[in-house]
A = this chain, B = another copy of it.
Amino acid sequence: MVAFGSGERKAVYSAIYARRDIRRFRDEPVPEAVLERVLDAAHHAPSVGFSQPWDFVVIEDDGTKAAVAGIAERAIAAAHEGYREPRKAAFGALKLEGITDAPVNICVTCDPTRDAPHVLGRNTMQEMDVYSTCLAVQNLWLAARAEGVGVGWVSFLYPHELRNVLEIPHHIRPVAYLCVGYPEDGFPDEPVLQQEGWRDRLDRDELVHDGRWEPAKTPDGDTRSERETDS
């Protein structure tokens, strides 16, 4: 059984805290061995009933990337139209994807029919297959960070169009479209959206509820951690 000393524990937290959503990539290939390691890390995520519902479409072809970037461009333009100023201008100034810059793109999909009809644990929560697929994405993301490789998740896509470009069967759900490569400017200390003033990190204490949803605050409005400090 693997035991973690303080150095190993610290390394795991480092990957968690130093991981970033990367949108600018250097023109430098990701070695095949590194790619295999991060994909294998993804494949070792937990999954409902051990169903392992994920697949990985690995894209290195420029034509395919350009086709996907075309979808993203329209989705971003559409989103842009929906904003009011000053958010609209701020949104327009953001670089939101690095599809054609990244040497590798990975589309992570979910197969809802895998191990069906009786996937252990999907009985009352059918969407557990998609949840499992997301856990695989986070494994991939953290492994990549430890490898010095950046990952950016592009959700400005029309899933049906993406499915067509990648010839993904109709019953398979594209969950994540990831741009993968070495970051152009390294890994920023803070999330880019925080740096750009888009949104701040929330206070963790306000998101942690003690026992039930409401008792997170006392009648005075004190948070849980404040109470603990007081008592």
Contact = CB atoms under 8 A, between A and B. Distances in A.
A136 to B, nearest CB: 8
Interface in A33-71: 37, 39-41, 43-46, 48-52, 54-61, 64
Contacts of A54: 207
Contacts of A139: 16, 138, 142
A172 B213 CA distance: 10
Given A54-B207, A131-B137, 20 more contacts: A4-B14, A4-B15, A7-B8, A8-B11, A8-B14, A11-B12, A40-B204, A49-B198, A50-B199, A57-B211, A58-B208, A79-B120, A79-B124, A120-B193, A120-B198, A121-B156, A131-B134, A134-B138, A167-B212, A169-B213
Given A14-B8, A207-B54, A155 B125 contact: yes
A159 to B, nearest CB: 7
27 contacts: A2-B18, A3-B148, A4-B15, A8-B11, A9-B11, A13-B41, A16-B41, A16-B139, A16-B143, A17-B44, A43-B202, A43-B207, A46-B138, A50-B193, A55-B213, A57-B213, A75-B123, A115-B199, A120-B193, A125-B155, A127-B130, A130-B130, A131-B134, A131-B175, A138-B138, A166-B212, A167-B214
